[in-house]
């Protein structure tokens, strides 16, 4: 059966595909790995922390899919290339890359030290570039790269987050450019997701009362934080053939925050 003839729900399937998720040792990244496995993919999980990776791998394997944990620092281009080659060595192919590795700070701009600003850019923006560069060398036509940006790459922040906002705005620009280079020539679609405020390790660092105040005051037409499953489905959609005519876009998943 050719792809246009597939029933709608089958177009969301990732059966026979291999996905690689960075920042997969916990939180949203671990959730993405499980969601991709639920859609049928075997998954390579990468992060700096091996213990979290092993636990996330077990969750993927419970679904009957194969999983491989590879400790990786995405700020090292050579480590990114080695990660991709490890994935190819184990599974023989790579079809989906989810660039989720990231970090955030909330420091007034006049007090933020240069090394901290550089570290955020290095992980969130440059790490995604090194990973995409390495993956695109081996991905077949029909593959998909999904960059996890942020609504703060689109709108102002409630807190002083210059480095984080700059890195995510840069990632959105990178998404457009890489898609321009690769979607037509190589058949690799590149899109981004811009999450609003979801329950994660990053938002867990924000005092509950401050977070509630922010959600209530400015932001979401839905009036609440997002849940992991609401982001998982978007990542699977962009990774799958169901989104085959979506290329170079940033899809905000923010409860209406950026729609004001």
Which residues are tagged catalytic?
164
Handedness of CA 69, 164, 98, 252 (dihedral sign): positive
Q: How far apart are CA 164 and CA 153, in angstroms?
A: 8
Q: How far apart are CA 187 and CA 179, in angstroms?
A: 9
Residue 234's H or E segment, with its range, is helix 228-239
Furthest-apart CA pair in the chain: how many Å?
A: 60
Q: How far is CA 176 from CA 11, 47, 72, 115, 246, in A?
A: 24, 25, 26, 28, 12
Q: How far apart are CA 134 and CA 44, in angstroms?
A: 14
Q: How far apart are CA 8 and CA 219, in angstroms?
A: 33
Coil, strand or helix: which one is 237? helix
């Amino acid at each position: 059966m050719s792809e246009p003839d597939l029933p709608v729900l089958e177009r969301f399937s990732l059966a026979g595909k291999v996905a690689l998720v960075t920042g997969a040792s916990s939180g949203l990244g671990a959730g993405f790995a499980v969601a991709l496995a639920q859609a049928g993919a075997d998954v390579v999980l990468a992060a700096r922390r091996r213990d979290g990776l092993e636990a996330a791998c077990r969750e993927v394997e419970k679904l009957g899919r194969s999983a491989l944990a590879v400790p990786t620092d995405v700020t090292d281009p050579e480590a990114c290339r080695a990660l991709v080659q490890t994935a190819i060595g184990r599974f023989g192919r790579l079809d989906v890359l989810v660039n989720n590795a990231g970090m955030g700070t909330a420091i007034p701009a006049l007090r933020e030290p240069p090394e901290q600003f550089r570290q955020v850019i290095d992980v969130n923006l440059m790490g995604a570039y090194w990973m995409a560069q390495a993956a695109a060398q081996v991905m077949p036509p029909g593959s998909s790269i999904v960059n996890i940006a942020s609504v703060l790459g689109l709108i102002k922040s409630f807190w002083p987050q210059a480095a984080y906002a700059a890195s995510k705005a840069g990632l959105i620009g990178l998404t457009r450019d890489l898609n321009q280079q690769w979607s037509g020539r190589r058949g690799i679609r590149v899109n981004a997701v811009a999450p609003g405020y979801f329950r994660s390790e990053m938002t867990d660092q924000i005092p509950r009362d401050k977070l509630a105040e922010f959600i209530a005051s400015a932001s979401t037409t839905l009036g609440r934080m997002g849940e992991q499953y609401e982001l998982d489905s978007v990542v699977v959609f962009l990774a799958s053939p169901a989104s085959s005519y979506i290329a170079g876009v940033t899809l905000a998943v923010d409860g209406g925050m950026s729609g004001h």
